[in-house]
Chain A
Amino acid sequence: MTKKILLVDDRENVRVTLRDIFEGEGYTVVATTTGEEALDIIDKEKPDLVLLDTELDTVVPKSINGFEVCRQIKQVRKLSIKVIIYTGTLGMIDAVKARRMGADDYIIKGEDPAVLVKAVKKLIGDAKYGK
């Protein structure tokens, strides 16, 4: 059994890249395009960690953003799943808001996904159970 990551990003190229990276590290990856989908399947999938992009409304306008998903998971449903909110190189600096929503980490990631991998490992450890 490997640890599971739920990845929520509305951009396909990002989903593909991050999926490759994390599956390469041994994790199981489930990916959704919108926050709503993520919240729908979260009980069924039971991920160990949720990776959320800040803006999730380019493909489906008016869909909820990462901060809201985080709030739903952490503060409304009060699940014990780890949550990392990330933003790209040109993302807004909104770390404080992330913290308020209950996020475990907030990553301003550049082009190198290693930063995200490190943050994930810090929170849930290696892919294999038994660390």
Chain B
Amino acid sequence: MENREKTTEQLKEDLRKTREELAIQKWGIEKTLEGMKVLVKELIQKGEEAEKAKAQDEALLASIGDGVIAIDMDGRIILMNKAAQTMLGWHPAELLDKSFFETIPIEDEKGKPVPLEQQPISRALVGTTTTGHSYYYIRKDKTKFPAAMVATPVIIDKKIVGAIEVFRDITKEKEIDKVKTEFVSIASHQLRTPLIGIQWLAELLKKEKLTDKGQEYLNDIRISIQRLNKLVELLLNVSRLEEGKIEISPQSIDVVNFIKKIVDSLAILNSKKRLSLTFTADEPKIMALTDVGALQNIAQTILPNATEYTPEGGKIEVKIKKHGRMFLLTVSDTGIGIPKKDQGRMFQEFARASNAGRIKAAGMGLGLWIAKQATELLGGKIWFESQENRGTTFFVELPLKSKSIDGTKKLV
């Protein structure tokens, strides 16, 4: 009944309001639809990009020559690339979701299984990036191969969620290394025979009647022979150290006397360079149970080094101190020092400081490496402090009683 009483004006107003409302709703729907189109388009794009990225990652993974394995926090294998498959002889389908530690055994060089906590990938799971070079993987068919591995944790939002390991079959590298070491060993052997010949002939020559000049030349020949001998011994020691199995048989010696003898042998060279040398020991005699060959290799590197790398008029201080169960040999010089950038690698094989060439044109860079190996075999520590152009101090700390080690070769 009320409706009929509405005027035309009122009805027109109602209509207008309804139309307005409809227009607003229509606008609303249009805007919403437009918005949704935008969002959907973006979603599709993101999906495609993700697909593409995923495909790229897979292609990358497949093309990497190194093996890649990823495990989750429980040690289950979640990813294994083609290279890993091939190297290990498994199919990923066989391994996905299985425990890495149960299915892929790792052994050390002696054939003993490597304990879980020491395996690179487990250490990565607890947050340490690790490398391992002397481990062997056991294939599905139970054969094994040496591998170089690097494992890192996978961190998302500051939490470790798994670990990834990249590894490489280094059978070839190990072969090459072995051949190299054997070669050095054989070469040093071969070099010895003619060296002995020259030495003996020089010895016989001495007995013959020679002119004064002749005698002088003969002496020079003998000095050259000594140098050659030293180099050959150096190479020999390197190859023996690389092969491992060095025997350490400690003998009781007076280290003060031992070092003093070496210092004295450098006296001529030192006086030629006008180097002042002081030798102090806090006790006149210090008895130690140590391997003579090893101690020789240490002292015969750092003492001559001080002389060689200190320019004329410089100073060398040699000190021997006993403390506790150890004795400390200190050799300081005012020589050319070792530049900071080289300090980190001085104990590596073939390492020479960048400024070494200034004072000694050629050197093999083996002395410190051998000295370090020998020090460690005796159970000691070797380190240095140095400032370029100011000087260097070498510290060798050795036990008064070195343990004997079984081996097949001794250091010469």
Contact = CB atoms under 8 A, between A and B. Distances in A.
Direct contact of A and B (CB under 8 A): yes
Interface of A: 87, 89, 93, 95-96, 98-100, 105-112, 115
A62 B11 CA distance: 42
B42 interface: yes
B13 interface: no
B18 to A, nearest CB: 15
Interface string B20-40: 000011011111101110110
Contacts of B29: 95
B24 A108 contact: no
Contact of B24 (A93, A96, A105, A115): A96
Which residue of A87, A96, A105 has the most chain B CB atoms within 10 A of its CB atom? A96
Contacts of B34: 107-108
Given A99-B24, A99-B27, A99-B28, A93 B42 contact: no
B41 interface: yes
26 contacts: A87-B35, A89-B39, A93-B32, A93-B35, A95-B28, A95-B31, A96-B24, A96-B25, A96-B27, A96-B28, A98-B28, A99-B27, A99-B31, A100-B24, A106-B28, A107-B35, A108-B31, A108-B35, A108-B36, A108-B38, A108-B39, A109-B35, A109-B38, A110-B39, A112-B38, A112-B42
Interface of A, secondary structure class, is mixed
Contacts of B31: 95, 98-99, 105-108
A100 B42 CA distance: 28
A99 B41 CA distance: 25
Nearest to A109: B38
Interface string B195-225: 0000000000000000000000000000000
A106 B29 CA distance: 11
A125 to B, nearest CB: 20
A82 B240 CA distance: 87
Contacts of A108: 31-32, 34-36, 38-39
A95 B32 contact: yes
B183 to A, nearest CB: 63
Contact of A89 (B24, B25, B28, B42): B42
A96 B39 CA distance: 19
B81 to A, nearest CB: 33
Contacts of A87: 35
A112 B42 CA distance: 9
A104 B28 CA distance: 11
Which residue of A89, A95, A107, A115 has the most chain B CB atoms within 10 A of its CB atom? A95
B42 A111 contact: yes
Given A108-B32, A108-B34, A95 B39 contact: no
A87 B32 CA distance: 11
Given A96-B25, A99-B24, A107-B35, 20 more contacts: A89-B39, A95-B27, A95-B29, A95-B35, A96-B24, A98-B31, A99-B28, A99-B31, A100-B24, A106-B28, A106-B31, A107-B31, A107-B34, A108-B31, A108-B35, A108-B36, A110-B39, A110-B41, A110-B42, A112-B42
A129 B40 CA distance: 36
